[in-house]
């Protein structure tokens, strides 16, 4: 016997209402105007308006029933409805309904499944529809039927919510274990992830979340899940990185800064551009066949171990006139500007020279092979030829493309040795090698460099000498050992290279301006006090002048660079290491090639095109520069932390005011700020002190001065 539906429930009728998220059966005890007195299956009496009832009522069970009979009747019909609901396929029903109607009653939808649907089946279907929120929405008295696109979206959201709930429970427990295990002994295995991580790709999802947040802690993706996962853990920016390291997802001392700026490590990134690199090699060979040989015995001077030699020079002095030839590595002459390789190199922006190893802007085959100015190897080069008076005035300057064969590759120490007099050479710690044939030329270059520096200082140049120490990393049983040692002392060779490169970059800027070729200029268009001109090396002097020097900016208009005391400055001397130099060389070489080889490889970019590139190039250059500044600081702070907070260090007061004092540790090139009350009243810039340092966090770059004493 089927149970009949009742359209207007009255005393003795079985009805249902929602309590929480579930339908609850009840029997109508009394119907009074706009209120119904009910007895629910939970054995409670309550009063509700008819609008609270679900849109299926019945059957009529009778009046005057005892509590026991009412309980038994409701349990019987609930069992019938549960059994009917178990046999309903939501997907089958939705497939039948979607496309036919956008809204329907439970009674109508029940007719799609049964020819003899009674009230128990209709109610059972209603129960199923109420829980099938991805397919239907209850909009009393009917159900909305979602279209396919909406269902797919809601199913994805439901799955995401389910995974979030699982992750929040199992993941939170696991993350707390990772935090507790962060200081585990070297070689000890990380905690095992829970079994739930193996299902539904949950483990991979949490791994990806940790790596993403290690690179960018402030991201908003999955913010609610992250908050649940780390509840009760310290609120710190590098928490995700610490947990990822504890899990074994990244090695100890992982350089998350590279991930933050999207800088790919090693050489794997270049594999995608093997075809373009191959074409680049062939284009360079074709270009070499067109270029005139240059038999000038150029000499390069680089840091020890350099494999990407950007520049080489030769200087003659005759009748009071200097003839400087600077050969610059020139990938730009055949570079595929605008191509996929170019865009990848734009993103890298610069080579990075870090204590743990170098990251190069260009693929190895290009930057440290094809175009590097290696001794005896034929290389296409952009050669700037400059004639200068003995007062450093440029008499004429012209760029041209030539095929060069460098005569020697010197390091800074070797060049320094060549610049010493004979007695100094005899006492030099490093023997002079491979420099005998170039000593006269290098001395000419040094003479020119000294003149150029005097001229710039007279014009207001602010020159800071802050020799960087070497940060050495070695592995021992306790992990990575960090040592800070003085770098090579090479003031003469350093000045020689610096002044010649500044001169070439100035000449390129002037040439670009005169020929209306848009370039990227480094500008610092500010007025500086005249007394700032000079060479500064003491911490207190450095602090004073640097505070007044704003950072140089990248612009497409030639403006003054106050720190260099030049009216225009555009870098071209490091095209293997900096994208701005590669681009500027490209602008110059494209014009030179147009003049000699029409149509090869195309005219320089115009001003509007160059301006369009400027924001990206400027942002990427700054991002790479930030890594170059912050990563060595990480290792330096690790050095100090491992020495503990009881050790006293030599320091010099760099600056002071009524609230703070900044001390410098010149031998480590590190500045630390302390509160004024931590120092003696007699404190003054330049004063030598002993300091204790502590509360050091290499990850956040934080270090505090704990105590000071007179040296």
> Do 42 and 90 reside in the same domain of the chain?
yes
For the record, the structure tokens of 239 come out as 């928490």
Let me know if residue 403 belongs to a domain.
yes
If asked whether residues 656 and 597 sit together in one domain, one would say no
The answer to whether residues 24 and 173 belong to one domain is no
pLDDT reported for residue 240: 93
Q: 352 and 245, same structural domain?
A: no
Residues 361 and 509 in one domain: yes
- What pLDDT, on a 0 to 100 scale, did the predictor assign at position 429? 39
DSSP helix/strand/coil, 348: helix
Q: Is 270 part of a structural domain of the chain? A: no
Residues 615 and 676 in one domain: no
Residues 474, 355 share a domain: yes
> Where does a domain end: 100, 118, 146?
146
Do 324 and 315 meet the contact criterion of CB atoms below 8 Å apart? yes
Helix (H, G, I), strand (E, B) or coil at 26: strand
Q: Give the DSSP per-residue string, 34-69.
A: TEEEEEETTS-EEEE-GGGB-S----B--SS--HHH
Position of tokens 């890298």?
348
Residue 547 shares a structural domain with residue 657: no
Claim to verify: residue 588 and residue 679 sit in the same structural domain: no
Same domain, 445 and 574: yes
Beta bridge partners of 299: 313, 408
**For position 431, what pLDDT does the model report?**
39
Beta strands in 295-348 (DSSP E): 299-302, 311-318, 321-329
Low-confidence ranges of the chain (pLDDT < 50): 1, 422-434, 599
Total count of domains within the chain: 4
pLDDT of residue 1: 42
Rg (CA), the chain: 38
Class of residue 150 by CB neighbours under 10 A (exposed 0-12, middle 13-18, buried 19+): middle
Distance from the Cα of residue 373 to its chain's centroid: 31
Residue 381 falls inside a structural domain: yes
Domain match, 454 and 543 both: yes
Q: Which two tokens stand for residue 338?
A: 């605008």
Average pLDDT, the chain: 90
**Domain of residue 90, residue span:** 14-146
Write the CB contacts of 21 (distance below 8 Å, at least 6 apart in sequence): none
pLDDT at position 426, please?
41
- Determine if the peptide bond prior to 356 is cis (ω within 30°): no
Instruction: Look at the pTM and tell me if it is higher than 0.85.
Output: no
Give the C-alpha separation, 585 to 384, whole Å.
11
Strand-pair partners of 387: 323, 396
Three-state secondary structure readout of 97-161:
HCCCCCEECHHHHHHHHCCCCCHHHHHHHHHHHHHCCCCEEEECCEEEECCHHHHHHHHHHHHHH
Q: Please give the Cα distance from 492 to 490 (Å, whole number).
A: 6
Residue 428 has a pLDDT of: 41
What was the pLDDT predicted at 601?
61
Please list the residues that pair with 238 across neighbouring strands. none
Contact 145, 139 (CB under 8 A): no
Q: Of 146, 179, 196, which one is at a domain's C-terminal end? A: 146
Torsion angle in degrees (nearest 10) through CA of 531, 532, 537, 539:
100
Cα separation, 663 vs 682, in Å, equals: 15
What are φ and ψ of residue 247, in 5° steps?
A: -75, -15
Q: Which of 123, 146, 169 is the last residue of a domain?
A: 146
Residue 688 maps to which CATH number?
2.40.50.140
Contact 588, 508 (CB under 8 A): yes
The pLDDT score that the predictor gives to residue 163 is 73
The first and second tokens of residue 202, run together, are: 């949950």
């Amino acid at each position: 016997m089927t149970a009949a539906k009742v359209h207007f429930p009255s005393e003795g009728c079985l009805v249902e209402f929602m309590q929480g998220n579930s339908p609850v059966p009840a029997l109508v005890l009394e119907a009074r105007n706009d209120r119904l007195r009910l007895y629910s299956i939970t054995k409670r009496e309550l009063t509700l308006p008819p609008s609270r009832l679900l849109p299926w009522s019945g059957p009529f069970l009778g009046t005057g029933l005892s509590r026991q009979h009412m309980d038994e009747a409701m349990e019987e019909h609930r069992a019938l409805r549960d059994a009917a609901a178990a046999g309903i396929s939501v997907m089958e029903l939705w497939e039948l309904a979607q496309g036919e109607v956008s809204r329907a009653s439970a009674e109508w939808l029940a007719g799609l499944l049964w020819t003899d649907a009674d009230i128990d089946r209709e109610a059972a279907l209603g129960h199923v529809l109420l829980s099938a929120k991805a397919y239907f929405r209850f909009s009393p008295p009917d159900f909305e039927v979602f279209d396919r696109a909406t269902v797919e979206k809601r199913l994805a959201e439901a799955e995401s919510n389910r995974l979030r709930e699982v992750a929040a429970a199992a993941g939170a427990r696991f993350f707390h274990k990772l935090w507790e295990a962060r200081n585990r002994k070297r070689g000890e295995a990380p905690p095992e992830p829970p079994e739930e991580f193996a299902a539904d790709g949950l483990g991979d999802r949490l791994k990806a979340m940790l790596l993403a947040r290690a690179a960018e802690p402030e991201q908003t993706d999955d913010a609610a899940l992250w908050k649940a996962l780390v509840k009760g853990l310290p609120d710190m920016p590098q928490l995700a990185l610490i947990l990822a390291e504890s899990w074994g997802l990244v090695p100890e001392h992982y350089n998350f800064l590279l991930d933050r700026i999207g800088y790919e490590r090693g050489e794997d990134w270049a594999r995608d551009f093997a075809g373009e690199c191959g074409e680049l090699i062939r284009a360079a060979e074709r270009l070499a066949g067109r270029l005139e040989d240059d038999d000038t015995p150029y000499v390069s001077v680089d840091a020890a171990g350099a494999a990407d030699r950007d520049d080489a020079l030769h200087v003659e002095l005759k009748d009071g006139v200097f003839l400087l030839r600077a050969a610059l590595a020139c990938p730009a002459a055949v570079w595929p500007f605008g191509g996929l390789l170019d865009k990848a190199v734009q993103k890298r922006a610069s080579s990075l020279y870090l204590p743990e190893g170098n990251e190069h802007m260009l693929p190895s085959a290009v930057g440290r092979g094809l175009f590097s100015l290696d001794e005896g190897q034929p290389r296409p080069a952009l050669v700037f030829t400059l004639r200068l008076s003995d007062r450093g005035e440029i008499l004429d300057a012209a760029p041209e493309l030539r095929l060069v064969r460098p005569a020697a590759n010197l390091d800074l120490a070797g060049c320094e040795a060549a610049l010493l007099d004979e007695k100094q050479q005899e006492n030099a710690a490093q023997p002079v090698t491979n420099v005998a044939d170039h000593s006269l030329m290098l001395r000419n270059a040094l003479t020119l460099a000294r003149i150029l520096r005097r001229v710039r200082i007279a014009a207001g140049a602010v020159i800071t000498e802050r020799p960087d120490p070497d940060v050495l990393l070695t592995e021992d049983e306790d992990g990575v050992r960090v040592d800070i040692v003085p770098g090579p002392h090479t003031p003469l060779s350093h000045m020689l290279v610096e002044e010649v490169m500044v001169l070439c970059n100035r000449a390129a800027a002037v040439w670009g301006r005169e020929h209306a070729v848009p370039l990227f200029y480094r500008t610092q268009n500010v007025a500086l006090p005249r007394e700032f001109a000079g060479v500064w090396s003491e911490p207190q002097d450095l602090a004073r002048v640097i505070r007044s020097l704003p950072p140089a900016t990248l612009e497409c208009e030639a403006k003054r660079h106050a720190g260099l005391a030049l009216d225009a400055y555009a870098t071209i001397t490091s095209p293997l290491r900096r994208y701005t130099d590669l681009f500027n060389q490209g602008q110059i070489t494209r014009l030179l090639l147009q003049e000699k080889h029409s149509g090869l490889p195309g005219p320089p970019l115009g001003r509007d095109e160059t301006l369009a590139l400027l924001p990206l190039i400027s942002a990427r250059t700054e991002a790479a520069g930030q890594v170059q500044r912050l990563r060595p600081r990480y290792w330096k702070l690790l050095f100090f932390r491992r020495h503990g907070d009881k050790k006293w260090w030599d320091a010099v007061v760099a600056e002071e005011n009524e609230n703070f004092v900044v001390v410098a540790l010149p031998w480590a090139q590190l500045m630390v700020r302390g509160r004024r009350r931590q120092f003696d009243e007699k404190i003054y810039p330049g004063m030598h002190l002993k300091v204790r340092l502590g509360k050091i966090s290499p990850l956040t770059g934080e270090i505090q001065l704990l105590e000071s004493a007179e040296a």
